[in-house]
Copies of this chain bind each other. A is one copy, B any other.
């Protein structure tokens, strides 16, 4: 990656210094990017637009952005397979991805832009985000188990001895009807933004940059966030029509983040490179919404354990009131049923384990029975899937009343490395 000269083509000035890997993008925006908000945030800090809405998040910091960042409205998530056995090519891609991610999260085009440079060459950026602000874009990377050892057990990239103990294919859960074409992957990228065109643009350009080194294994758009990751946000609703994510770990709970989300430096001796990172669990959960919609309101609320309107526990109070699981109801049953979702996954049932969720609603057209192919693309970040996800999913599969209305059609686990420090690339410690 050498510095590109300023180029003038067809009367359109393209002045965009492309510096070496890890350096900051020059703050001189080309004329064609004038419409984009290019306020650059410092590490972990949001630049606020005049309307008070965060428009860009710094790409570098102690942790990757896109985990505790206040959940943006839209998602494009992609899993990739690495199609080369060359470690150098993989590392080179991580360097190029780092640079492009830093540019795009700042609201700039990738590389040398969409309309600059030599008109005899394909543009570096695909152009559909020209004129759009950064829109709170975050780009978050993860490494799948198969990156460390492929399906044949081969250590293609010389990193098998650094595979985290907990980074294994998730077990088969009751209720899983997984589509292999929607599961797994060597790498993943989560792009979140308040404008879906910006999220799609990010994934598309990273896929383009990876051409020849990776190919898209699967990708998923989410149109509506179902979680809040900051106390500044109100709780959105999933496609069951219920508020979702009330008990989520929030960015403001720094102690809880250290306990439940960030991998500690002593967690895994073989995987010290993951300290400050997290495990990303992705599950594509189809909801049988046409069946759900025919359930009486009272039943829906008993399945969830909360009221539909305010999200308060059935034991009373407001949305954020702690559920009283012992409160007696009718027929010698507790008012929050034993199979209510809120009870089955409650931290009290799982040694206090909590997750940071940032899932999204999806509709992918229609299914074969004249309904909507719709549901929740579940994303959770946890310190250890063995304690913080697998037991909860097992409990759900076995006893949760909601599961009758769910079909798990995709599944993947990734290790999301810690944040990228100045001069480094994504995953540098893993390949160092």
Known: A119-B298, A307-B115. A242 touches B127 (CB 8 A): yes
Inter-subunit contact B223/A74 (CB<8 Å): yes
> Which of chain B's residues has its CB closest to A117's CB?
B297
Residues of B close to A123: CB separation below 8 A = 241, 297, 300, 308
For this chain, the copies found in one complex come to 2
**Min CB–CB distance A276 → chain B (angstroms):** 31
A218 within 8 A of B: yes
Within 8 A of B (CB), among A289-321: 289-290, 293-298, 300-301, 307-310
Interface string of A115-136 (1 = CB under 8 A from B): 1011111110111111100000
**Min CB–CB distance A91 → chain B (angstroms):** 21
User: What count of chain A residues pass the 8 Å CB interface test?
Assistant: 74
A208 within 8 A of B: yes
Residues of B close to A168: CB separation below 8 A = none
Inter-subunit contact B297/A241 (CB<8 Å): no
Provide the bound-state CA to CA distance between A402 and B300, in Å.
Answer: 50
Inter-subunit contact B120/A211 (CB<8 Å): no
Inter-subunit contact B237/A127 (CB<8 Å): yes
Provide the bound-state CA to CA distance between A237 and B239, in Å.
Answer: 30
Provide the bound-state CA to CA distance between A388 and B229, in Å.
Answer: 50
Interface segment out of the listed A38-46, A60-68, A357-365: A357-365
Inter-subunit contact B363/A200 (CB<8 Å): yes
A27 within 8 A of B: no
Within 8 A of B (CB), among A200-219: 200, 203-204, 207-208, 211, 215-219
A-B contact pairs, 22 of them (CB 8 A): A12-B307, A81-B370, A114-B308, A115-B309, A119-B297, A120-B297, A122-B293, A122-B297, A127-B237, A131-B237, A195-B224, A200-B224, A200-B239, A203-B372, A204-B372, A204-B374, A207-B290, A215-B370, A218-B365, A218-B366, A221-B221, A364-B365
